[in-house]
Structures are given as structure tokens and as C-alpha cells.
């Protein structure tokens, strides 16, 4: 790492703006046992405290943003926010990490033409459903033809190998009412043509069966989380602006299936959907508490292990809702889950870019989930589900809450 001069004290002149909150860190180390990358690497630079020290060095001009080692440590964060959840000094770690990564993006020391192409394609696909249709078709074709055999080792090959078990056809989504008359608005996200199509169809079935008028506002797009956490702030803001316009229907709840998207939408600036955003599970739980006999559910026995993603535990704080909702359904037994790492390793695109660590964390998570011999695993995050499905050795289904709930509806 290029260390231009010794690291200075907090409050020194800043070369890069927006990182001064790193000075709030009192180096107590309480976050260290909660950090999955620190547990895996056992290196201070891969801990929250170490990363904050690096941000201070970057801000004060003591460290260069092109330094490969600095980039490795900062880009290696999985974004689980477990550190933020336990920090007594309330260091806004996620916002700082977003800012630090934006600085790295502005100083692209190591990005190859292939990486730039991948990023440009990804950003365009987030905005345009037609491009996602083409991308989904290409991905399903590549998996069917086992095209990974022709690719060199690297993120492209890993992508094809890793997503194969989760790819699904594009959904046929039609709201039952217009946004103006809807009871709820459904957020569809950017993974609809790749992985979440069946989840969205299932959510529509459940909400319709319970009597809710659902609208799918046109013009909505990706929540922007992937772009923001990768440091592409401008792109994230562009996506955010589109969603602000699409969801500008006051007082209509916005239902989100994925805990990562929900966390991102909740943190939109004032005037955004913020407090109107709800996970499907939180929305249904409130409804079923008031109307316990609202839907006829199957009474077939099933043993479910719940995977609670880091965004759900640390950001949306809905760790109690999903177990309570499922425990209310007849025939459902919740399997106990033993201690697992604080992140399954999916971490946005980390499952593709840091495969060794991601797979170790994912396998440890699966072992914890399977300890009590469940029939099914339910996870509230699409990235975690894709990663865990790629690693699970036998065919235990890993479903979203929406698909699980739709499968428990009795025939009318
Ligand atoms: S818990 Fe907070 S204050 Fe303590 S070392 Fe970690 S980031 Fe710094
Ligand atoms: S966000 Fe997660 S992986 Fe990143 S430093 Fe904090 S605890 Fe570690």
C-alpha cells in the first residue's frame, strides 16, 4: 500500500470529502467479533475498525485510492452492516463505505475493459426491461448449453456456474387495479427476468386471494442498491429518481419482496416511499393478526428453516415478523437454526468476485440451517437464495416467503 505520510489525527484537512464521520470510531473493537470478513481473513484491514482507519487515511491524503491493497480491503466488505448494528459510537459505516467506494470508482486503477463492459451492461439492464429480457434469455441459454466450459476462470465463468440453479423464466405480471385505486403497490425490482419472476407471481396470488387490489406502477426500476454499494452514486441516484416518480401515489403501501431492496427503498431521501415501504411478510402479518381467518391455508406438515438475511436483521429489523407469520400457518413447524456467520457470503456481487470466502461462509450458513433437518429453507433475500442454492448439495428447496406462502394456500 502506498503510504505517502504517516496516518494523521482526526480533524486534519481532507483530500476527499464525505468521510469525516469515520473519525467517530473510538477503536473499541466491539464490532470485530460480528464482522464476517474479519473472522475469515483475521486481518485488521478486513475489519470494520481497520476499514475506517483506511478511510481516514484516504480522506487525509495519506493513502492513495489507486493502492491495490487499500482497494482490496475496502472492496472486500460484504456490506452486511453487522458492525453498524452493534457500534456504540453510531458510526454510519454503510454510508461511509458507499462514499469510499465512490472515491475508488473515480480512481479506476485496476478495472479491466471486461469489468467495465460488465458494469455498463449491468447498469443499462437495470433500467430497461427489454435488456433484462435479453439478458435472462442469454443466461438461461448459456446455462443450458453449459457455456461456462468455454470461458476462462473469472467472474464471467463463475456467474454462469453460480446462478444456474436459480434462473427462472420471465414472469407474466398484471396488477389487478390501477395505482390510483390500489390497496397496495408492488415493487418488482431488477432481478425479475432472472430469478424473482415466480416470487412476484406468487406474491400477486397471495395478495389477490386475501382480497387486496394490487397495482404494479409503470416506470419503476431497480432500487439502486447494487450501484450505490459499488460506488456508482450517480447511477444509483438516476434509478432512485425514476422510482420516486413511479411510486408518487400518496398513502399507498409499497410491498417489497426482497430485504435488500426494501432496505434501499427505506433509505431514499425525504419525499420518497420511505415509511410506506413494507415487506410482504410484515404487511401480511399485520393483516393476519387482525383477521386470523382471512385465508384458508393447507394443513400439511412441513418443517421450515428460516434464513434471516443481514439486511433484514441489521437494516429493516424484521427478524421477528417472518418467524411469527410462518408460525401462524397451520402445519408449519420452525426448525431451530444453529449459530451461523453474520453473512452468508452473497454480499451483493461478492459471491462472484470473492468466491473462496463467499463459498466458505455460504456452506457454514447452510450447515446451520440444515442442523435440525428442515424440509424447506425460506430466505427473504434473492442474492442470498441464489448463493445458497448454488452451494446446497442435495435438493432441499430454498424459497422466498412469497413462494412459500402461495404454496400453502388451500384451493378455493
Ligand atoms: S464498534 Fe464502532 S467505535 Fe468501536 S471499533 Fe467498531 S466501528 Fe469503531
Ligand atoms: S459491513 Fe459487514 S463485512 Fe463490512 S466491515 Fe461491517 S461487519 Fe464487516
Output the pLDDT for position 296. Answer: 82
Same fold flag, 20-106 and 295-407: no
Domain boundaries, the chain: 20-106, 113-163, 184-286, 295-407
**CB-count burial class (<10 Å; 0-12, 13-18, 19+) for 123:** buried
343 sits in the region (left: phi over 0; alpha: psi -120 to 50; else beta) called: beta
Q: Is the CB of 310 under 6 A from ligand 2?
A: no
Nearest CA to ligand 2 atom 2: 80
Going by C-alpha positions, the residue among 186, 267, 188 that lies closest to residue 225 is 267
pLDDT in tens, 226-268: 888 888 888 899 999 999 999 887 788 999 999 999 999 998 8
Q: Provide φ and ψ at 33, rounded to 5°.
A: -65, -10
pLDDT of residue 8: 47
Upper half-sphere CA count for residue 105 (Cβ side, 13 Å): 18
CATH number of the domain at 295-407, please? Answer: 3.40.50
Cα 325 to Cα 97, 153, 268, 330, 397: the distances in Å are: 34, 43, 27, 11, 19
Best residue among 35, 47, 48, 342 to mutate for probing ligand 1, ranked by most atoms within 8 Å of CB: 48
This prediction has a pTM of 0.89
What pLDDT shows up at residue 32?
A: 97
Q: What does the pLDDT read at residue 256?
A: 96
Q: For residues 347 and 325, what is the distance between their CA atoms, to the nearest angstrom?
A: 26
pLDDT, position 43: 96
Task: Confirm or reject: Cβ of 52 under 6 Å from ligand 2.
Answer: no
Domain formed by 20-106, architecture: Orthogonal Bundle (1.10)
Cα–Cα distance between 297 and 186 in angstroms, integer? 23
Give the SS3 label for residue 279: strand
Instruction: Please state, in angstroms and rounded to a whole number, the distance separating the CA atoms of residues 79 and 112.
Output: 23
Half-sphere exposure of 341 (CA within 13 A, CB side): 25
Q: What pLDDT, on the 0 to 100 scale, is given for residue 3?
A: 38
Q: Which ligand is nearest to the CA of 92?
A: 1
Q: Report whether residue 93 contacts ligand 2, using a CB cutoff of 6 Å.
A: yes
Residues 6 or more apart from 282 whose CB is under 8 A from it? 318, 321
Name which residue sits closest to atom 8 of ligand 1, judged by CA: 25
Q: Is 33 in the pocket of ligand 1 (CB under 6 A)?
A: no
- CA–centroid distance, 108 to ligand 1, in Å, is 29
The residues, ordered by sequence, that sit 6+ positions from 254 with a Cβ below 8 Å of its Cβ are 184, 185, 186, 187, 247, 265, 273, 276, 277, 278
pLDDT at 128: 80
Read off the pLDDT of residues 322-332 as tens digits, 9 standing for 90 and up: 999 999 999 99
For helices 197-209 and 280-290, give the axis angle rounded to 10 degrees: 20
**Residue 83 beta carbon below 6 angstroms from any ligand 1 atom:** yes
Interaxial angle between packed helices 155-163 and 129-144, expressed in degrees from 0 to 180 and rounded to the nearest 10: 80
Q: Which residue ranges of the chain lie beneath pLDDT 70? A: 1-13, 109-111
Task: Provide the pLDDT for residue 2.
Answer: 39
Say yes or no: CB of residue 82 within 6 Å of ligand 2.
yes
Please tell me the number of the ligand nearest to residue 34's CA: 2
Q: How high is the pLDDT of residue 109? A: 65
Quick check: helix, strand or coil at residue 186? strand
Pairing outcome for strands 302-307 and 277-279: unpaired
Grid look-up 473472522 returns 39
Amino acid at each position: 500500500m502506498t503510504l505517502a505520510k504517516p496516518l494523521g489525527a482526526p480533524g486534519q484537512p481532507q483530500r476527499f470529502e464525505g468521510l469525516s464521520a469515520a473519525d467517530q470510531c473510538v477503536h473499541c473493537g466491539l464490532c470485530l467479533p460480528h464482522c464476517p470478513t474479519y473472522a475469515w481473513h483475521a486481518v485488521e484491514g478486513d475489519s470494520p475498525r481497520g476499514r475506517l482507519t483506511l478511510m481516514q487515511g484516504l480522506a487525509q491524503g495519506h493513502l492513495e485510492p489507486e493502492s491495490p491493497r487499500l482497494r482490496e480491503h475496502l472492496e472486500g466488505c460484504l456490506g452486511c452492516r453487522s458492525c453498524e448494528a452493534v457500534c456504540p459510537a453510531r458510526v454510519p459505516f454503510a454510508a461511509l463505505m458507499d462514499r469510499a467506494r465512490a472515491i475508488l470508482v473515480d480512481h479506476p486503477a485496476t478495472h479491466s475493459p471486461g469489468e467495465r463492459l460488465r458494469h455498463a451492461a449491468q447498469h443499462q439492464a437495470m433500467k430497461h426491461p427489454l435488456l433484462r429480457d435479453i439478458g435472462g434469455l442469454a443466461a438461461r441459454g448459456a446455462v443450458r448449453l453449459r457455456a461456462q466450459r468455454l470461458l476462462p476462470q473469472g467472474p464471467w465463468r463463475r456467474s454462469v456456474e453460480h446462478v444456474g440453479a436459480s434462473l427462472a423464466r420471465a414472469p407474466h405480471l398484471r396488477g389487478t387495479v390501477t395505482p390510483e385505486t390500489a390497496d397496495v403497490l408492488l415493487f418488482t425490482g431488477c432481478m425479475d427476468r432472472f430469478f424473482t419472476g415466480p416470487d412476484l407471481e406468487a406474491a400477486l396470488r397471495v395478495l389477490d386471494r386475501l382480497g387486496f387490489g394490487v397495482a404494479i406502477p409503470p416506470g419503476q426500476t431497480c432500487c439502486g442498491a447494487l450501484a450505490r454499494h459499488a460506488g456508482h452514486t450517480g447511477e444509483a441516484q438516476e434509478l432512485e429518481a425514476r422510482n420516486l416518480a413511479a411510486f408518487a401515489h400518496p398513502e399507498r403501501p409499497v410491498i417489497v419482496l426482497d430485504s435488500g431492496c426494501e432496505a434501499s427503498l427505506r433509505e431514499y431521501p425525504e419525499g420518497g416511499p420511505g415509511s410506506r415501504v413494507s415487506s410482504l411478510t410484515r404487511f401480511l402479518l399485520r393483516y393476519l393478526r387482525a383477521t386470523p381467518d382471512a385465508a384458508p391455508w393447507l394443513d400439511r406438515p412441513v418443517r421450515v428453516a428460516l434464513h434471516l438475511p443481514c439486511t433484514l436483521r441489521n437494516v429493516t429489523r424484521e427478524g421477528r415478523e417472518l418467524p411469527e407469520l410462518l408460525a401462524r400457518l397451520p402445519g408449519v413447524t420452525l426448525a431451530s437454526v444453529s449459530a451461523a456467520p453474520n453473512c452468508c457470503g452473497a454480499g451483493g456481487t461478492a459471491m462472484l468476485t470473492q468466491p473462496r470466502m463467499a463459498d466458505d461462509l455460504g456452506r457454514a450458513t447452510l450447515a446451520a440451517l440444515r442442523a435440525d433437518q428442515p424440509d424447506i429453507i425460506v430466505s427473504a433475500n434473492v442474492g442470498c437464495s441464489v448463493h445458497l442454492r448454488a452451494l446446497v448439495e442435495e435438493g432441499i428447496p430454498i424459497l422466498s416467503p412469497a413462494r412459500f406462502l402461495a404454496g400453502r394456500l388451500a384451493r378455493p
